Amino acid sequence: MIEINNHCDVALATNDTIIAAAISGKDEVVFLLSNGTMYRYNTTTQKEESLFSVKSQIGYSDGGFDLDAPSTIYTLDEIVVIVNDFKRHGFIHYPGKYEALHLWREDYHADISKYPIALFKNKEGVPHIIYAEAWNHVQIMNLDTRQVLTAAKSLIEEGAEEKHLEIYAKQEEANKLPWPRAYDYFFGRLEVSPDNKWFLSAGWHWGSFDACVVYEVADFITNNRISDILVNCWEHENRAICWIDGNTIAVAYNPYMEGEADVAADEVWQIHFYKIEGRDAKPERTIKVPGINLHKTTMRYHAKSNVIIAHSTEIGFALISLNGDVLLHDPAMKANSFNNELGLLLYTEGNRLVIHELK
């Protein structure tokens, strides 16, 4: 039986508002206040530490980091990363190495593609970050040395020449474009697999339709070309996607929203599971999730409880078994983020921090 216990409920001693927050330890939260300062806060001792400010003296043409825009915080041990979700700026804070290393991506459709960010450690335990440089371009950086390991990587995918020749074989000369063309994919929200072997992108293609694509981390670093695994494409719904294990992905799906014939609008939501096998992603199975609208939720798999966590402002909070059973659904329970490793659920409102623990 899964229990949800109150872990912390505290109002900070400030009149400022919490803009974004994330759990970074069993008794530790990092958060950005409306005054522009990032803090680290111990929920047991209630002591806080000022880390850095997102305000800059540099005059960016777009105004720089926007405190009024939705933002997300990512953590790995003591490392803290914050970015504007649908804008261009962010910062990396690495204690003992650098206070606030600036992140910046190009503005082409940045307003509709969530800032791609993922943190992981390699086999030697060295922290790395995957981050966006442009709509179709992500880099991988060693955070200890700040070396961009993919700096020389091309934006051409494997087999680009063969694909071009096949597509334009029957076209008139006037319709043929220069080739090979650059990688034609908008990276979106990133997530590294539990074994750090793969990373997925919940992005999209022109059309417009969303597409989940998987990349092997080692190959992405060493291969000059882009080698991807397309999991699937769907209607453009910004769907929830998460890893279940080192080679299984769960994807939220609704037949009605996908335009399937003879399906009622209130058809139950589904979760489709795909398994990475070699260089392919193969459909494995489907479960139905009655009564839970998974549209634009955040899904995470909690291995310790063997359940999928789903939360959003619309549905509140839900626990779903891998067979589709809704073990708990509380529309009144709110969450901004969930720390998978610690099983802690975080919600903020004004200057208030509320943390629940799954047991």
Amino acid occupying residue 184: D
- Which of 246, 243, 198, 248 shows the shortest CA–CA distance to 218? 198
pLDDT attached to residue 266: 61
pLDDT attached to residue 176: 81
pLDDT attached to residue 225: 97
38 CB-side CA count, 13 A: 28
Full strand arrangement of the beta sheet holding 229-235: 186-192, 198-205, 209-216, 229-235
Q: What is the 3-state secondary structure (H, E, C) of the chain?
A: CCCEEEEEEEECCCCCCEEEEEEEECCEEEEEECCCEEEEEECCCCCEEEEEECCCCCCCCCCCCCCCCCEEEEEECCEEEEEECCCCEEEEEECCCEEEEEEECCCCCCCCCCCCEEEEECCCCCEEEEEEEECCEEEEEECCCCEECCCCCCCCECCHHHHHHHHCCCCCHHHCCCCCCCCCCEEEEEEECCCCCEEEEEEEECCCEEEEEEEEHHHHHHCCCECCEEEEEEECCCCCEEEEECCEEEEEECCCCCCCCCCCCCCCEEEEEEEEECCEEEEEEEEEECCCCCCCCEEEEECCCCEEEEEECCCEEEEEECCCCEEEEECCCCCCEEECCCCEEEEEECCEEEEEEEC
pLDDT attached to residue 258: 78
Angle at 24 between CA 18 and CA 27, to 5 degrees: 90
pLDDT in tens, the chain (359 residues): 788 888 899 999 999 999 999 999 999 999 999 999 999 999 999 999 999 999 988 888 899 999 999 999 999 999 999 999 999 999 999 999 999 999 999 999 999 889 999 999 999 999 999 999 999 999 999 999 999 999 999 999 999 888 888 888 888 888 788 889 899 999 999 999 999 999 999 999 987 789 999 999 999 999 999 999 999 999 877 789 999 999 999 999 988 777 776 666 566 899 999 999 999 999 999 999 988 889 889 999 999 999 999 999 889 999 999 999 999 999 999 899 999 899 999 999 999 999 999 88
**CB of 38 closer than 8 Å to CB of 93:** yes
pLDDT attached to residue 261: 63
CA 29, 188, 260, 274 dihedral sign is negative
pLDDT attached to residue 300: 95
**CB of 130 closer than 8 Å to CB of 87:** no
pLDDT attached to residue 44: 93
